[in-house]
Structure 1
């Protein structure tokens, strides 16, 4: 789906890095990139962890998560925590992106994803605002203090129910 979206974006100044584990699709991705003649605009980076992942996030302008189905994405949280504006699909079920104006939520199809990427890529002011809002989303909802307090609350509640 992402390769199809990228093939619809004609701006030669945009370069895309697709990062993540192989999961058996690497060969298929390479073939699709070749078929769509996107070799100069797409880099595949599999097995990206730790400091390497942090450096990749720092070098990025936008984080795109084109999911068909998602429970809870740590990748989205990681990207938001470093201030990346987000392009995610409605199937990510992460409405805080809309609430905080931390990026755009699009339908899970190539046309919508391409449109979402271009919205942020073409508008530096919107992109910078979404980046700031991504950090705020994390600070206000997922900081260690907030998550720790939520866990303590759950623990206390479960202990009081047992008493």
Structure 2
């Protein structure tokens, strides 16, 4: 049986969704029961990342042509691949209408992974129109919707969708990482590594640091590695200057693969003060490197708080500044213990082989009418 994955981007341009779709595909590639093909769009980083697909057949569709030809190209590529099941990782694009059309024509099922894209915080006016005009129909006809956690499951149900929902988290490859103890340095590094976007909470974080500058600046620095809209990055840069934080808050280039590993190795803690997330891969990466994590409840990994692998923070600058004061007062031994708890958490719950087994169980249930796994919710 053949799975066709549709991740949108085939490269790092897709951010965390690309990482998830890539690892889903690699797990399927290792299966004896399923074959895999990936269909996505051509972009500027495709050449940089095509080796990461490890020989999986990938079709990169041209984007510099009129939208009507893009739609026709996607439809033609899916039909040519002759899938048993399709798995889409995108919303709000013409891809949603195409998979519904192909599903009806070939009489095959499909799965949709929204990756947090249905979170109320992310749905603006244009997306509400899309949901009303075509996205709802596409989602309603999915054989199964894949939620990353209980929070996303509840969001999907509140929107009125009655499909089966499989709750399957993201994963991490521990084999690529090691435990790195906190180093004694003149100044410790608090790392932010993600898309530079309003929903990530950088503005309140920088404001909070300005409120405790006298205590923070002598012992810590915030290092921001990210990518995003140039205009918003410039806004963040202006905020740093206006608050006089040039000596303790730094924006650096986006990093990937081995370069990203080095950045994690050299930091002392990781922070993600997001307003909205699906299931952030970057937090799993921080834990895989045994780094203590500061995150909001909107990051949707409550296990981190339960396991004492994460410190809970808010997005209100006044509250966050007090939480940061408490954090910077912690000893190296306390930080190291929090990081070790994070490593144990991902090792026991979030490795890709464990996640892969759940994917196969979901596909088997849809295609073979096998026994329903307990992580698939019918109501």
- Mapping 1:12-91, distance limit 5 Å: 12-24=218-230, 25-91=232-298
Where 2:224 maps in the other structure, the secondary structure is: strand
Q: In 2 relative to 1, CA 43–62 (structure 1 residues): closer, same or farther, beyond 3 Å?
A: same
Q: How does 1:89-108 map to 2 (within 5 A)?
A: 89-108=296-315
Cα shift at 1:23:
2.4
**Corresponding residue for residue 139 of structure 1:** 347
Unaligned regions of 5+ residues in structure 2, if any? Answer: 1-203, 371-379
- What per-residue deviation string (whole Å, max 9, x for no partner) do you get for residues 51-100 of structure 1? 22111111111101010111121111111111111111122122011111
Instruction: For 1:128 and 1:118, locate their aligned partners in 2 and report how far apart those are by CA, in whole Å.
Output: 18
Query: Which residue of the partner structure matches residue 4 of structure 1?
Result: 207
CA distance, structure 2, for counterparts of residue 37 and residue 106 of structure 1: 23
Inter-partner Cα distance in structure 1 for 2:261 and 2:319: 27
Over aligned residue pairs, what C-alpha RMSD do you find?
A: 1.9
Misfit runs of 4+, over 4 Å: none
The change in CA–CA distance for 1:58 and 1:112 in structure 2 (over 3 A counts) is: farther
More displaced 10-residue stretch of structure 1: 117-126 or 97-106:
117-126
Q: Offset at 1:159? A: 2.7
State which structure, 1 or 2, has the greater radius of gyration over its C-alpha atoms: 2
Number of residues paired by the alignment?
163
Moved more, 110-119 or 31-40: 110-119
- More deviation, 41-50/56-65: 41-50
Give 1:160 deviation, angstroms. 3.0
SS at match of 1:84: coil
Which residue does 1:157 correspond to in 2? 365
Structure 1's 111 and 48: CA in aligned 2 closer, same or farther, altered over 3 A? Answer: farther
- Alpha-carbon distance change, 113 to 51 in structure 1, aligned in 2, over 3 angstroms: farther
Distance, in Å, in 2 between the alignment partners of 1:116 and 1:91 is 16
CA distance in 2, matches of 1:84, 1:128: 7
Q: Does 1:128 align with 2:336?
A: yes
Task: Give the Å deviation of 1:22.
Answer: 3.1
Distance 1:32 1:96, change over 3 A: same
Q: Which has the higher strand share?
A: 2
Higher mean alpha-carbon deviation, 46-55 vs 67-76, is at: 46-55
Structure with higher helix content: 1
